[in-house]
């Protein structure tokens, strides 16, 4: 395939054929296509995804989250290298904070995971979070499907760890791993109950050198805290481990826990039912996404939005009044019609 092939606009058959053959360049181009907000790209992307759908769903999807500084990138590189050493094709989808001007990724994940990026069995795709509140890209789910169709067996989603990201990622993965630090005062301080309840495992990172004892103490504290929660519907009790990306300690144990979880969930039927529920959520979120996109791209809305926002900002008009007025305009409802 010559360079010129990639320069001209491709059709859906070319995308599908290339992705199924594991073509990394076409995979990257397809991800860019699904992330595009241009209507023609949206139509093409939907066509590609529909054709690839029968070839998806065969990976193990793992979410990795934690506060900035916990060592997510270092952990994922060590974890990813373990997986590739086992012969597993591994895709890492990293979500970075966005520049509010360019909407571009600002941390540069490939430079933070240089060793893994050069591994022939690994594929790293950084995406900017953009305007998404959840710390993930609005098209992360579609990207997962593309990577699955390209033959990746394990897909890791790393988020920025900014509050809502945990909930969002939990809704698109099979296993949710929460990374925590020790030795930062009261380890349980500020840890929301909801986040801990969502975790399928908690890993205390940087458990090496002088930090080993603190890490073990943190491990016991988290174990005690988790025992106060009732077991989930699936009967799984979240595991708590310590690990060191630097020393490669505890990484294999985490993988063993994930495999044990997958085996148990599949035997009980929870693995498939979880994915089915996630697909329904995905459909609902996609409807909301397109409704919002249509609203803000509407010519009449664009003309009035700045003025109306100023009225709300200055307190001259209630937000609810402006919202209803703008929605009535969007749906072309006359004054005095039924409220939306």
* CATH number assigned to the domain comprising residue 166: 3.40.50.300
**Using one digit for the tens of pLDDT, what is the confidence trace for 46-65?**
999 999 999 999 999 999 98
Low-confidence ranges of the chain (pLDDT < 70): 1-7, 96-111, 128-138, 160-166, 183-194, 333-340
- Both tokens of 67, joined, read 């506060």
Residue 185 Ramachandran class (φ > 0 left, ψ -120 to 50 alpha, else beta): left
**Using one digit for the tens of pLDDT, what is the confidence trace for 138-178?**
689 999 999 999 999 999 998 866 555 667 888 899 999 99
Q: Which pLDDT belongs to residue 164?
A: 59
Q: Which pLDDT belongs to residue 132?
A: 46
* CATH number assigned to the domain comprising residue 31: 1.20.5
Greatest distance between any 2 Cα atoms in the chain: 71
138 and 66 inside one domain: yes
Could you identify the residue written with the tokens 């690994």? 122
Range of the domain at 187: 57-268
Using the 3D structure, point to which of 241, 268, 295 is the last residue of a domain. 268
**∠ at Cα 78 (189, 157), nearest 5°?**
65
Could you identify the residue written with the tokens 């241009």? 38
77 and 176 inside one domain: yes
- The count of residues in the chain is 340
pTM across the whole model: 0.85
Please give the tally of structural domains in the chain. 2
Q: Which pLDDT belongs to residue 156?
A: 97
50 and 61 inside one domain: no
């Amino acid at each position: 395939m010559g360079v010129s092939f990639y320069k001209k606009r491709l059709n859906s058959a070319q995308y599908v054929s290339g992705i199924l053959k594991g073509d990394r360049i076409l995979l990257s181009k397809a991800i860019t296509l699904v992330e595009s907000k241009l209507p023609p790209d949206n139509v093409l992307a939907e066509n590609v995804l529909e054709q690839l759908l029968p070839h998806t769903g065969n990976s193990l999807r793992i979410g990795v989250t934690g506060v900035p500084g916990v060592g997510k990138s270092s952990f994922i590189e060590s974890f990813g290298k373990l997986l590739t050493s086992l012969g597993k094709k591994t895709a890492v989808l990293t979500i970075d904070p966005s520049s509010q001007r360019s909407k571009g990724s600002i941390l540069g994940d490939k430079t933070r995971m240089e060793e893994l990026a050069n591994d022939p069995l690994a594929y790293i795709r950084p995406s900017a979070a953009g305007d998404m509140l959840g710390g993930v890209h609005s098209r992360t789910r579609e990207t997962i499907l593309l990577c699955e169709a390209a033959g990746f067996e394990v897909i890791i989603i790393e988020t920025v760890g900014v509050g809502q990201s945990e909930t969002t990622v939990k809704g698109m993965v099979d296993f949710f791993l929460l990374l925590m630090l020790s030795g930062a005062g009261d380890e349980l301080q500020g840890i929301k109950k909801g986040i801990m309840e969502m975790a399928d495992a908690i890993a205390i990172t940087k458990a090496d050198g002088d930090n080993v004892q603190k890490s073990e103490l943190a491990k016991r504290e988290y174990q005690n805290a988790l025992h106060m929660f009732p077991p989930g519907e699936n009967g799984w009790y979240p595991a708590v481990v310590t690990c060191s990306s630097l020393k490669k300690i505890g990484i294999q144990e985490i993988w063993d826990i994930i495999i044990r979880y997958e085996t148990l969930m599949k035997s009980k039927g929870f693995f498939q039912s979880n994915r089915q529920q996630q697909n329904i959520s995905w459909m609902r979120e996609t409807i909301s996404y397109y409704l919002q996109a249509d609203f803000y791209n509407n010519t009449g809305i664009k003309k009035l939005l700045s003025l109306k926002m100023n009225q709300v900002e200055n307190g001259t008009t209630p937000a609810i009044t402006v919202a209803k007025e703008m929605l009535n305009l969007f749906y072309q409802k006359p004054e005095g019609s039924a409220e939306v």
